[in-house]
Amino acid sequence: MGKNTKDKPVGKKEQSNTKTESNNLFASRLCYSMEIRQMSVRELADALYVSTSTVSAYRTGRRLPNIQTLSAIANILHFSTDYLLGLTDYPDMVHGKLPRQDEQFLSLFHTIDETTRSSALVILRQLQASNPASES
């Protein structure tokens, strides 16, 4: 009979890898959320009453925020904590779901690499600037 590895305790190395993956996913989604909201590190730091180095540590995955700070980040950026933590792939807004077309757009946006995302944002901003109906 083989050993049952299902109930094997998780070792420190596996815990470390899981923590690193969680930090990196949070960092990636934080950067994305800040980019969508066009919010700088300084602006988020000021809104959270923390230093820019703290926000930079979140953005690079060196550190995760505590639960209160995570909630504040989600409220400021209008993304759910579940999305920021990687518990869902849909960046539901804090006050409700995104419209279906927005969900489709974001799903597609998440499938492209960072360079292509940046190019897509430039194109969207050019389209917005040339569309008189988009002025608020």
For residue 134, the model assigns a pLDDT of 58
Q: What global pTM score does this model have? A: 0.58
HSE value, Cβ hemisphere, 13 Å, CA-based, for 117: 16
Contacts of 31 (CB under 8 A, 6+ apart): 59
72-76, 90-94, 127-131 — which one is most confidently predicted on average? 72-76
